[in-house]
Structures are given as C-alpha cells and as structure tokens.
Structure 1
Amino acid sequence: MSERPTKIILVHGSGHGAWCWYKVVAALKSQGYSVTAIDLAACGSDPRRMAVDVTTFEEYAQPLMDLMASVPEGEKIVLVAHSFAGLSLASAMDAFPEKIAVAVFVTAILPDTVHAPWHIFQQTFEHFPEIFSGIKTESVAIPGRSAPFIIATSDPEFLATRLYQNCSMEDLTLAKMMVRPTSFFQEDLSKRAAFSEERYGSVDKVFVLCGEDAALTPDYQRWMMEKSPVKEVMEINGADHMAMLSKPRELCQCIAAIVNSYIR
C-alpha cells in the first residue's frame, strides 16, 4: 500500500526505545501512513550510555531535534510522545512550531508555559509521591557538574505492576530485556526557562488518557491537564501505561482520527 504524505513521529518514554512502538508502527504502516519511531540518546539501540556519553537533557533529546530539523519547510508532521517524552515533545514544539500540525501526549508529561519544566515534577512529589515508588536511583559524580547526576532504573516489579500490568507476558519479557537506565535530568530542567506561550503554546495539543495507567494514574493525567489545558482529550479504557502494547489497535484508531482532524 502506498504511503500517505502525512509523517507521524513516535517518541518513547524514559528507559524505553523505538522498539516499544512496534505494534503501532506496523499497524499504521499497513494503513498507508508514513511513520517513524525514534531512539532518543542512550535509549533503545542507540549506542551511547547514560551518565557516560549523555549527561544533559539537550543531549538526550537531540535525536528528535535533529529529525525535526530535517523536516522540509512547509511540511507539517504529527508528533506523538509517551510518558517522559512529553518534555522532549515540548522542546520540539518550542523550536519548530511551524512544522507540527498537532502534538499528541499519550499519558505523557504535560508542562505549562509559566514554570521551569522541572516544576511539574516538584508538584508531583508533593501531590502524587507514589508515582516514583519502584524507581531506583543512583547518584553519579561527573567532573564539572555541581550536583550529582541521577540515574533511574525501573525494577522488574515496577515494570510488571505499574507499567505493563495489562500487557502480554511476551511484551513484559521484552521490556525486562530492553529497558535501559535513564535520567530525569533534574539539574537541567530546573534551570531551563519555561516553554513559551508564543511557540509551544501555539501548537494544538491532544491528550490520550489511559484509563488503567497505574504509573501516571488517570487522576494525575487529569491534574496535568487542569494546569495546562489541551484542545482535545481522547480516552482509551483498559489501557495501562504502555498503551502502545496493551491497546495498540485503539491507540492507532486515536492517532488516525487525529490525523484526519488536524491535517488539512
């Protein structure tokens, strides 16, 4: 089937990689869409290592920024982010608003245009501290940095009960083999300026709410949207945090509907 001209870019959450989108990529391509799932730095099959080769949020998100820079002038794409990738998506929206027809947040971190990006995590620690239980952290000293670099790792129990609880055993097993150490880049994101209303705020945003997410719970997802409203909300009942694996058909339906609504 020949590909439709619309380009869809899929961006994974922390610790994951392009591999987690395999069901969605296959389904969208079978419908004729042009779709790309990328590896962020030190993720998936990217050879770099966290805290060794990648120590800043800018380095981490650079593969997405490079891909956006390669989009021809006058062309608009649909950008889809999952989980922590909401911040990478927001960075791309701030840098390339004219190239993005719509930004899709799949149970993804949704920053506002008032505070530094780390502010949403500070608020999360206060209102939803249970979100971070099951994530192990390690401090690493890096020359030239005033604060230790924090590496985060999801233990197998966290994967099984908080992220993949509605997924197949095969997909959970794949995750246990593929998920890599990551970072939330607290030092960088706390010093970074807020995303701009003029650029980030000018791009249409759709939020895909996952009804059985045990990590970023539905209450948490709605709390983010109260603080940073979106143009449209879609909900996938029965989707855990990894909707692309537990409910791939439904997520593909959402993405196709968004394409049809926002691409002119």
Structure 2
Amino acid sequence: MTVDNECHDKAMPMENGCYDKHGKFHFVLVHGAGHGAWCWYKIVHLLQNSGHKVTVLDLRGAGINTANPDSITSFEDYDAPLMDFLSQLSNSEKVVLVGHSAGGLSLSHAIHVFGYKIAVAVYVAATMLPNGFCSEQDFQLGAPDLQKVTEFYYGNGPEHPPTSSKIIPEFQREILYQLSPPEDASLASLLIRPAPLLAFQTAQFCEQSEEFMKKVPRVYVKTLQDRVLLLEKQEAMIKHWSPDNVLSMDSDHSPFFSLPLELHTHLLQIAHLFT
C-alpha cells in the first residue's frame, strides 16, 4: 500500500491526497468478515471513474494479507492495516470512511482513535456500536445469528474454543448474495477466507464522552433484504446509537454487488452532504 505525500493546500487536486473545493473526495473502504478489498471492485471503479480517490485495505488475515486468521487473537492486530493507514494521513486531510458488515467495528475503532481525520463514517449493513462488544447487549445488537450455517475452525485444538469461522460454502449465495449477480457470488466463493473469531470478540474500545463521539458524523445504510444482519438488528442499532442520517436500499447483505450504482450514488451524496 502506498500512502500519498502530505497535502498542504486544500485546493490541490485529489492525486496529492486531499479532497478539494471542487468536490473531489477520498473514500476509504473497509470490508466485512471473511471478505477483503476485492469485494469493493465495482465501487472502486465507479468512484474512480467519477474522479475521486479511493483506498481499499485488506485487514489482517483477509484478502491477500498473508496472516493466518487462526493466529489473530486481538482486534487491534486485525485492524492494524486501517489504523496504520490513518496514522500516516496528514492531520489536514479527512476521509470518507465506509465500512461493510463487521467492518463497522473498524469504523467505531477509527472514530475513537482518529476521529479528527474522518469527515463522515458510513456504516453499510454494518455493526454500528459506539464501543464495540463491551456488554451482552452489544452482542445481542450487533452480532449476526449464523451458527447453523457456519463452519468453525480450531487453531488451538478441538478442546479449545474456535479461533475462526466461515459461512458454509453451499449457504453463501443464499445468505450473503441472494440478490447479487451469480458471477459475483461465484467470485466471492473463491476468495472468502475464515474470519478471526477471537479478534472480533476483543473488539472493545475505550469509552469516550458522548460529546467526543458526536464530533464524527455517521450515516447508516440499511439493507432491507439482508439475511445476515437482519433488518430488526439494523434498526435496533440505529435506535441505540442514533446516526446523523439513515438511508435504505432494497438490497441483500452485499449492495456492492447487488446494487452498486445505487450505493455509489448514496456515497457521493453523503460525501457532499457532510464534507
């Protein structure tokens, strides 16, 4: 990953690392559990074709990152690629940070650590919790119930709790991509990797004041036909930690595949509204 040089002039063009007064933005896209930067390929093309800067990241053990998911035992370790990237941005630059599914935990983590570098955080069918999984209520709100369609891996041996998990291949299209083009579901079936369970269980962020958390605008994009993060869970999280705006898409859990043009339009509208 290449990080752009620091940009000192707000009117400079996007290739120098800042969104400018002409409406060019820097989008940072964060994938969900088991996925990788690859899942955003349609959105990357659409945003770049619209003249915007886009950064996509593989979190540890995801995509082409070589780490073994069973060896990742903390959320800080899993989320390090995003934190490293944000740390290297100049203090004058703000990004539009977009997270899908479990990528919402990365957004909340980033708000705590680098809120001053985030113009707006966009949760797309995502786990939206202010402090991660700090209580039983948080797990009830933000953790999908997929036990019956999930296979578990035991990197520490069968006598210990599972270390990673993945939706069983024959259920992936039905659960994740039922409204998406079949070729995208086929691509995903070749690329999905087990997600590091132990890392997600330690996604607990230091509590900040309510005033601090309000400094970063948030938008939630609901997916109405979602079979992973059911609509009632999305609405419960929205009620628990009210965002600044809520949008809806008649999509499955993966709108970057099923409704990419609509998601692209929403992201541009959000960027213009909050930056």
| 1:222 Cα deviation from its structure 2 partner | 0.7
Q: Aligned pair in 2 of structure 1 residues 195, 171: CA closer, same or farther (>3 Å)?
A: farther
Residue 232 of structure 1 pairs with residue 245 of structure 2: yes
Give the secondary structure class of the aligned counterpart of 2:70: coil
Residue 164 of structure 1 pairs with residue 177 of structure 2: yes
Which of residues 185, 190, 200 in structure 2 aligns to 1:177? 190
Which of residues 257, 260, 266 in structure 2 aligns to 1:245? 257
- 1:42-191 → structure 2 map (5 Å cutoff): 42-52=61-71, 54-113=72-131, 116=134, 119-123=137-141, 129=145, 131-141=146-156, 148=161, 150-184=163-197, 185=199, 187-189=201-203
Write the distance in 1 (CA, Å) between the matches of 2:55 and 2:261.
Answer: 17
User: Contact 2:133–2:203 (CA<8 Å) still a contact in 1?
Assistant: no
- Over the matched positions of the two proteins, sequence identity in percent amounts to 33
| 1:138 Cα deviation from its structure 2 partner | 2.8
Write the distance in 2 (CA, Å) between the matches of 1:79 and 1:186.
Answer: 19
Structure 1 equivalent of residue 8 of structure 2: none
Write the distance in 1 (CA, Å) between the matches of 2:247 and 2:254.
Answer: 16
Give the secondary structure class of the aligned counterpart of 1:202: coil
Q: Normalising to structure 1: TM-score of the pair?
A: 0.87
Q: Normalising to structure 2: TM-score of the pair?
A: 0.84
User: Contact 2:70–2:164 (CA<8 Å) still a contact in 1?
Assistant: yes
Residue 218 of structure 1 pairs with residue 231 of structure 2: yes
| 1:115 Cα deviation from its structure 2 partner | 6.7
Query: Unpaired segments of 5 or more residues in structure 2?
Result: 1-12
In structure 2, give the amino acid aligned to 1:189.
A
Structure 1 equivalent of residue 9 of structure 2: none
Write the distance in 1 (CA, Å) between the matches of 2:252 and 2:193.
Answer: 20
Write the distance in 1 (CA, Å) between the matches of 2:194 and 2:41.
Answer: 21
Q: Aligned pair in 2 of structure 1 residues 148, 217: CA closer, same or farther (>3 Å)?
A: closer
Give the secondary structure class of the aligned counterpart of 1:25: helix
In structure 1, give the amino acid aligned to 2:273.
S
| 1:189 Cα deviation from its structure 2 partner | 3.1
Structure 2 equivalent of residue 33 of structure 1: 52
| 1:158 Cα deviation from its structure 2 partner | 2.6
Write the distance in 2 (CA, Å) between the matches of 1:151 and 1:92.
Answer: 23
Query: Unpaired segments of 5 or more residues in structure 1?
Result: none
| 1:186 Cα deviation from its structure 2 partner | 5.2
In structure 1, give the amino acid aligned to 2:202.
D
| 1:197 Cα deviation from its structure 2 partner | 3.0
Q: Aligned pair in 2 of structure 1 residues 19, 196: CA closer, same or farther (>3 Å)?
A: farther
Q: Aligned pair in 2 of structure 1 residues 223, 55: CA closer, same or farther (>3 Å)?
A: same
| 1:49 Cα deviation from its structure 2 partner | 1.1
Q: Aligned pair in 2 of structure 1 residues 103, 117: CA closer, same or farther (>3 Å)?
A: farther
User: Contact 1:90–1:195 (CA<8 Å) still a contact in 2?
Assistant: no
In structure 2, give the amino acid aligned to 1:236.
M
Write the distance in 2 (CA, Å) between the matches of 1:83 and 1:124.
Answer: 9
Aligned residue pairs, count: 252
